[in-house]
Structure 1
Amino acid sequence: MVVVLALGATMLSVISWYNTGYHVVGRELRVYEGLLWRRTRAIPLERLQAVEVVRPLLAQLTGLAELRLEVVGGGKTEAPLAYLGVADAARLRERLLALAGRVTQPIVPGHAAPTVVPVPGSAAPPATTPGRPLHAVRNQNLLISQLLTPQSFLLPFGVAFVVVQFLTAGSWSFVAVASTLTAMAGVLLQPARRVLDDWNFRLARDDGTLRVHNGLLETRAQTVPLARVQTVRATWPLLWRVNGWLRLRLEVAGYSVAEADDRNRPDRLLPVGDLPTATMIVAEVLPGVRLDALTLTPPPRRTRWLHPLGREAFGAGLFDQVFVTRSGRLTRQLVVVPYARIQSVRVVQGPLQRRLGLASVHADTAGGSGATAQDRDLAEAWTLAADLTARSQTARHPT
């Protein structure tokens, strides 16, 4: 039965591959698929945000790559073209980005691309990330950072619990052994997956885009348009502060926040690094913003009734180009939002805040999260909201 199912799945895959193709017509990508029920998807390239080249382990062994498209307003990653030769995937990505206005290289509009035909013998991509190199994360630091997480500290207890449960059950059946191994794999999966995903993390700058390359078993080459960056988020986990480490994340408009696999969202900017490195990278993403020179004001003293363990963990500040907020006691977090990316401003009061004369100011972005200045004085909150509204309008329409 296993052999029959494997042969059937292989035949269906081959039939699907033979009936899948793509065509570039003007500024539109058309993807054709299906045998009995033909389906044609037309993707306007002006809505294209980025094209990602993904190479799972089997694709690396066979010299293939998968192309994934991110489109504004898409509920998920659009039009995954799997699989192409590595050289074909790289050429198609550059062409689509050029047609979408992301790069400036000559393109002949309307030229039709051939049907997808994988080329197993295609050459591997270059070892270096295209563009001007910015930073490469040391794999040793990546391993140590994952060891300095609550999951890693609880990992021996989790494995011991699974083993004890298995030994005390007194059952050595196939189901018992398989269940035990599955449970142990689940305990080990998360920290190992983070290391594998961010292995050989390299960051480069190419005109108006960031080039991100990472992964061990599954390599990813992502292109992040800087014009679509909504927020930059810096996080200092509790155990990382011993080494002065932090991580940086991006929020990019147009990416699919509903993806079941968060690895499909190119939000990694720096998996682990020190403050000088993070300051240099943030200055590349948001020119004129220095992460190590952001002085924020804490909320009023009466917020100690809401935050008895330390109100200094919270703060907010207005700067020339960005709005910055700080939050978190055990895990500190700093959120930087350019004024031009603010979509709306809200002033929110809870029941305890009303009794204390406090309010929180939310600056919403197209990416969905934005930044929140928590527990400000009510008069200050309204002034801050008006100032944010005026600055965002000026940043959007400077004339």
Structure 2
Amino acid sequence: MTAGPPVPPDPEDAPSASMPGGAPASIDPASTATAASPPRALVRSPLSDGEWHRMHPLTPLFRGGFALVVVAGIIIANFRDRLIYLFLPDELDGEMPEDPVDFVIDNNLILVALLAVLGIVLLLIALFYVSWRFHTFRITGDDVEVRSGVLFRTHRRAPLDRVQGVNLTRPMVARLAGLAKLEVVGAGLDANVKLEYLSTANAEAVRADILRLASGARLGEAGTDAAPRAGSRVSAAASVVSAGITGIIDGAEEPVAEPASVVHIPIGRLIASRLLSGSTIGLVVAIIAIIVGSVLGTPWILFSMVPTVIGFGAYWIRSITKSLRYSIAPTPSGVRITFGLFTTVTEIVPPGRVHAVQISQSILWRGFGWWTITVNRLSGRGLADTSTDQFTTVLPVGTRADVERVLRLVLPHLPESEWPLIFEHGVLGPTADDPYTNSPRRARLLRPLSWRRNGFDLTPDALLLRKGFIWRRLAIFPLARLQSIQIAQGPVDRALGVANLHAHTITGPVSGSLGIVDRDAALRVFEAAEAGVMTATAGDRSHRWAGDEAHASDQDEHRDA
């Protein structure tokens, strides 16, 4: 099924202005729509024409799924004994339990009960219909907008020039119906705009349109897609369930004309990396300590451990399932990352949206040659959203070859001459001809294990911070995304002539702190980084990464005309 016909704008949502005296001045809605919408001849998807459209008709059912689960739970709780008697009569000694069904039959209220059930069903259908009618979206040349709510209206807008990415999420149940949720990632706290739900085909087409508009290019250059015929809805509805079941096996994006993943993670490596994680080791140590404590005289401690084990087990399994079917590949609109076994999430990170990259390796992984890559990027989510961490890991576990492939995707503009600074000197260093500026020998007592590795290097494109012995880390900060640099000293630092360097970027798992470096070297990198950031920012074109191309195309068309 496809989205409904265009919805005329509500009168209260029409733009208005005021005259100097305070009287409202009318604005022609037709001229407003024409100015806000891209030309119809250049629109690729029928849903990206600047008009208001409704979500998929099944949207209220999936958005209100939790309420339906609660209602089903109440019904099952009231009829639990009857269900047990129906399937296992011996468990209740052959006696039928009393429940509301017996009351209805004994008092001859069958017709009243059926009418009540019918009324509730009709009320739910009416509520779902009204909710669907008032849940609309539109895509203009400047914004993605969503309106929802009946009594309390909500109008959210995401400017296209501030789009940080577009995520396509397919929960397992929604996949059976061929639906997907689109989330436009904004550049602020709780700034995301969600289009839930659309058919998978429409969601992919709309995502491509949003990314193309955000790039500064025109939709017409991508061609036009044929709109689905009205007569094909019956056959589409008949095959949607089987297509959803096939999608669980093949993946959310199959088949899609996208390049294959540059990294493939074996399931054995993924499970082994979780077993060799710090959280697993910590849990084992805690279990041993509790067992020893119970043997020595406090056995009740064992019971307090059960919820912890169950919770950790659920977390451990979830960390594996969300990394299954992982893939990462380049696309014309950015880096496409897919992950998740049951609920599949596909996100596309446009160029220039990664603010920091970190390669890290635990001492437990060192013998296997495994690393993980995390990034700092705007997620557009609220502080209470616990799912933000899954959007910061771009490589859960990989070999050196995997790390290099992923880095070339998330840092595409890094010159070839600087790559030895990343892996040879940064991740595996220090080497004999180490180009990094490391902690001085006089301060080795403050970093007894890592003072030889603890250092930095500044290139014309990035600031590199290398640290850690037990946990090897290399943090890469593109200068075009760097916000500021701070130098701090404590009383011990002043006595030893060292300082602490801190690169400021957006909040994320990548830390910009580097302690115990030579004070004079820190001052030099402070001044050099200031000039480097200004130069890199002036030459950065990633904000509208296809703008130059679109401008050149417009000039060519003008010359041809």
- The alignment's TM-score, normalised by the length of structure 2, stands at 0.61
1:196 corresponds to: 321
- 1-structure distance, mates of 2:438, 2:207: 46
- 1-structure distance, mates of 2:285, 2:503: 41
Q: Could you tell me the percent identity over the aligned residues?
A: 26
- Asked if 1:19 corresponds to 2:134, the answer is yes
Distance 1:270 1:104, change over 3 A: farther
Moved more, 232-241 or 335-344: 335-344
Q: Which SS does the other structure have where 1:136 is aligned?
A: coil
CA contact (8 A) 1:323 1:336 kept: yes
Moved more, 319-328 or 200-209: 319-328
1:246 corresponds to: 371
- Asked if 1:62 corresponds to 2:177, the answer is yes
1:97 corresponds to: 211
CA contact (8 A) 1:231 1:337 kept: yes
2:108 corresponds to: none
Deviations 1:346-375 (A, max 9, x none): 111122212222111222224566633321
- 1-structure distance, mates of 2:392, 2:486: 25
Distance 1:340 1:40, change over 3 A: closer
Q: Which SS does the other structure have where 1:248 is aligned?
A: strand
Deviations 1:225-267 (A, max 9, x none): 1212111100101211110110011222464473522446522
Rg larger in 1 or in 2?
2
Q: Which SS does the other structure have where 2:438 is aligned?
A: coil
> Given the alignment, which residue of 109, 134, 151 partners 1:36?
151
> Given the alignment, which residue of 518, 533, 541 partners 1:392?
533
Listed as ranges, the matches of 1:316-331 within 5 Å are: 316-331=456-471
- 2-structure distance, mates of 1:6, 1:300: 68
Unaligned runs of 5+ residues in structure 1 are 171-175
CA contact (8 A) 2:166 2:183 kept: yes
1:82 corresponds to: 196
> Which AA in structure 2 matches 1:389?
E
2:503 corresponds to: 363
- Asked if 1:127 corresponds to 2:257, the answer is no
Listed as ranges, the matches of 1:253-272 within 5 Å are: 253=378, 255-256=380-381, 258=383, 260-263=385-388, 266-272=391-397
Unaligned runs of 5+ residues in structure 2 are 1-68, 76-119, 228-232, 426-433, 541-561
2:279 corresponds to: 151
Query: In the TM superposition, what is the alpha-carbon distance from 1:6 to its structure 2 partner?
Result: 6.2
Q: Which SS does the other structure have where 1:217 is aligned?
A: coil
1:222 corresponds to: 347
Q: Which SS does the other structure have where 2:355 is aligned?
A: strand
CA contact (8 A) 1:211 1:224 kept: yes
Query: In the TM superposition, what is the alpha-carbon distance from 1:32 to its structure 2 partner?
Result: 1.4
CA contact (8 A) 1:136 1:202 kept: yes
Query: In the TM superposition, what is the alpha-carbon distance from 1:186 to its structure 2 partner?
Result: 0.6
- 1-structure distance, mates of 2:499, 2:382: 28
Deviations 1:113-133 (A, max 9, x none): 9xxx99765764443672463
1:142 corresponds to: 270
Q: Which SS does the other structure have where 2:452 is aligned?
A: helix
CA contact (8 A) 1:69 1:78 kept: yes
Distance 1:139 1:38, change over 3 A: same
- 1-structure distance, mates of 2:488, 2:399: 35
Provide the alpha-carbon RMSD of the alignment: 3.6
Moved more, 372-381 or 180-189: 180-189
Query: In the TM superposition, what is the alpha-carbon distance from 1:154 to its structure 2 partner?
Result: 4.3
The structure with more helix, counted as a fraction of residues: 2
- 1-structure distance, mates of 2:488, 2:382: 24
1:173 corresponds to: none
1:281 corresponds to: 406
CA contact (8 A) 1:70 1:78 kept: yes
- 1-structure distance, mates of 2:202, 2:324: 25
CA contact (8 A) 1:231 1:336 kept: yes
- The alignment's TM-score, normalised by the length of structure 1, stands at 0.83
1:346 corresponds to: 486
